[in-house]
Structure 1
Amino acid sequence: MEPMTMLVLAFQLLALFSIAGALLIYLICKVREDSKTCPPEAQPSRVVLVTSADTALGLQLCTHLANKGCRVFAGMKEAHDSLPAKLLCGWMKIREYSEEPISGTIIPMKLDVTREDVLREATVAMGAHLNANERGIAAVINTSGSVFRGRVESQDVQQWEHMLKTNILGTLRVAKAFVAFLRPTRGRLLYLGGSSAGATMGGDGLVAFNASRVAVDKCAEELRKELQPYGVSVVALDTCGMTAESLYKPPVAQVMSDCAGAPTQYTADVLSANALQVIERALWDFAPQERYTLLSHNKYQFTLPCRSSLRVPKQTPSSEAVSPAAKNVQTV
């Protein structure tokens, strides 16, 4: 073959490969754009269940996730007349008329992890609230639990039974009741776990409570193995560095004035802004880790106020003398 013919052939092959490469790049870019602009029904589910909004931590998670555009089922033992239910109802009404309305919503729902009948009713109620094109939910965050502090020789045995029933059996009951909502979406089950090193909560009088936390970690470990073939991820939120009481304490109601009819306000700042971001990662990371640490430095407990916390939109001059601890509150 003559040199000139070979040169022409080489240029033709180069042009052909260039066109093929450009076409391949165009197709890749087109696929990426289509995935970003897919219809709402093809988007990942943004529905989350928080099993207990009766706790300040659970209440804070409900409002934070609603602020982020999620539809949140807020479980509580009394979904109408309890303080958390009234606070959530008031919070939603205020947010509806704010300058920047939230895109998410909160649906109070009766839920008690110690009662099989209530759990069955909760699954039926949640299924009724899902849209026709929704096959399931994105995640279940188990914030239910209890703690009683006391030395073994003086502690009531009924308190042990309540902790074991709520913390251990409650974890298994939640998985049994709601895993059917997680399989279709390959969703996630999040629970409040101990540290990866197996460290327990410090302080006296927590023998039964620490025993229940070790058992919960083991339950979650076995659930992870069982649910992995179905694509359901079981994720531990490492709470090492937080006090036992802070995990399950109720929201604190406050009255800012002694006048009759004064609005009831409350605080629910348990998690820092960084900890809330960690929980968001645990919910939405493409490949979730088995464990996420909520506190950056475990030997310190952060009490920084978070923007997602429930707070008064604007203080009046008469309330300027309120202590800093009462600033992050919400009026109902």
Structure 2
Amino acid sequence: MEAMTMLVLGFQLLALFSIAGALLIYLICKVREDSVSVSAGSHPSRVVLITSADTALGLQLCTHLANKGCRVFAGMKEAQDSLPAKLLCGWMKIREYSEEPIAGTIIPMRLDVTREDVLREATVVMGANLNADERGIAAVINTSGSVFRGQVESQDVQQWEHMLRTNILGTLRVAKAFVGFLRPTRGRLLYLGGVGGGGSAGNGGDGLVAFNASRVAVDKCAEELRKELHPYGVSVVALDTCGMTAESLYKAPVAQTMSLAVGAPTQYTADVLSPDALHVIERALWDFAPQQRYALLSHNKYQFALPCRSSLRLQRPVASTVGENGSQSV
């Protein structure tokens, strides 16, 4: 066989193998996407608890998962007269009369991760709202937390204590209170984490010494919980928030004035997570074999202003829950 013929044949074989390889990669990716969708649809339970819907992030997760057909327990410090409760109630009414009503539902309930008595009451409420054929729930997403920014030498010690009590002890209290709902379904406990446990908002020079220390402790708590709950089939999953500011994790819904006219409705938005980040959370919830950690941002070393697809409306404006010292707690 002549050299030129062999060269042409070699190029043809190379092109053929390239096409076959590309097709194989496409099929693998397609099967993976389909398996995620199937696992989500065939999961034995579609009930999810969000421990704090007082935040924009918690509100966004509640409405997103309800749109996906989940029954969502929305934990709130005040489940009736608070701004988040009114926003969720208004959102549900709007969707109820829309052309395409949502497949899921949202059940607001009182929940405070710093109080044992309130947590016990929440477990009773959840048990009463489960159907007779439901043994438990699919997942608990712990969105509760607290952040106070300030230099150590001038920061109030009570702020440190509040962050430790909410972030660290709150993580353990959530596990203690609701693990009984996760064992029967081999469910999942999701928490907000950071790469290597170093927090999600930067270094101590940003006035986050105590906060970042609490995030390291939270990651360690989750690591130990993962070992303890593994024999029961309960998965503990970290949602890696690296690249997001600490305040964005716990900020209240943002009010936006749409009109200067007197009596015009105030629109509140939950502009925390992008559609891609929401898809990551879906994977963390429904992947057949969940990873220990999922990154919410594709490029962690950059910080993005992430838009929200939908907004929540309320007729009467309410004062912001953000304190004068830049603190946020839920």
Pairwise TM-score range, normalised by the shorter structure: 0.7 to 0.9
State the alpha-carbon separation in 1 of the partners of residues 103 and 256 from structure 2.
28
Give the aligned partner of residue 102 of structure 1. 102
What is the CA-CA distance between 1:197 and the residue it aligns to?
6.9
Give the aligned partner of residue 18 of structure 1. none
State the alpha-carbon separation in 1 of the partners of residues 302 and 312 from structure 2.
24
What is the CA-CA distance between 1:44 and the residue it aligns to?
1.4
Give the aligned partner of residue 271 of structure 1. 273
Give the aligned partner of residue 301 of structure 2. 299
The C-alpha deviation readout for 1:99-137, integer Å capped at 9, x for no partner, is 111101110000000000000000000100000000000
Query: 5 Å matches for 1:1-332?
Result: 44-196=44-196, 198=198, 201-202=201-202, 204-307=206-309, 328-330=311-313
What is the CA-CA distance between 1:43 and the residue it aligns to?
5.2
State the alpha-carbon separation in 2 of the partners of residues 82 and 330 from structure 1.
14
Cα 1:276–1:172 change in 2 (3 A) is same
Cα 1:172–1:301 change in 2 (3 A) is same
State the alpha-carbon separation in 1 of the partners of residues 81 and 293 from structure 2.
36
What is the CA-CA distance between 1:264 and the residue it aligns to?
2.5
State the alpha-carbon separation in 1 of the partners of residues 142 and 158 from structure 2.
23
The C-alpha deviation readout for 1:203-226, integer Å capped at 9, x for no partner, is 511000000000000000000000
Secondary structure at 1:74's aligned position in 2? Answer: strand
Q: Normalising by structure 2, what TM-score?
A: 0.79
What is the CA-CA distance between 1:329 and the residue it aligns to?
5.0
What is the CA-CA distance between 1:265 and the residue it aligns to?
1.3
What is the CA-CA distance between 1:98 and the residue it aligns to?
1.0
Say whether the 8 Å CA contact 2:57–2:250 is kept in structure 1: yes
State the alpha-carbon separation in 1 of the partners of residues 251 and 307 from structure 2.
17
Give the aligned partner of residue 13 of structure 2. none
State the alpha-carbon separation in 2 of the partners of residues 74 and 89 from structure 1.
11
State the alpha-carbon separation in 1 of the partners of residues 143 and 200 from structure 2.
18
What is the CA-CA distance between 1:254 and the residue it aligns to?
3.3
Cα 1:199–1:48 change in 2 (3 A) is closer
Secondary structure at 1:112's aligned position in 2? Answer: coil
Residue ranges of structure 2 left out of the alignment (5+ in a row) = 1-41, 316-330
State the alpha-carbon separation in 2 of the partners of residues 235 and 208 from structure 1.
23
The C-alpha deviation readout for 1:235-273, integer Å capped at 9, x for no partner, is 000000000100111112334334443223101010111
Give the aligned partner of residue 27 of structure 1. none
Give the aligned partner of residue 22 of structure 2. none
Residue ranges of structure 1 left out of the alignment (5+ in a row) = 1-41, 308-326
State the alpha-carbon separation in 1 of the partners of residues 151 and 76 from structure 2.
30
Deviates more, 1:292-301 or 1:84-93: 292-301
Q: Percent of counterpart pairs with the same letter?
A: 86
State the alpha-carbon separation in 2 of the partners of residues 86 and 159 from structure 1.
29
Counterpart amino acid of residue 187 in structure 1: G
Say whether the 8 Å CA contact 2:114–2:165 is kept in structure 1: yes
Counterpart amino acid of residue 108 in structure 1: P
State the alpha-carbon separation in 2 of the partners of residues 214 and 114 from structure 1.
19
What is the CA-CA distance between 1:149 and the residue it aligns to?
0.2
Superposition misfits of 4+ residues, deviation over 2 angstroms = 196-201, 253-262, 301-307, 327-332
Say whether the 8 Å CA contact 2:52–2:74 is kept in structure 1: yes
What is the CA-CA distance between 1:291 and the residue it aligns to?
0.4
Counterpart amino acid of residue 87 in structure 2: L
Q: Normalising by structure 1, what TM-score?
A: 0.79
Secondary structure at 2:288's aligned position in 1? Answer: coil
State the alpha-carbon separation in 2 of the partners of residues 198 and 157 from structure 1.
21
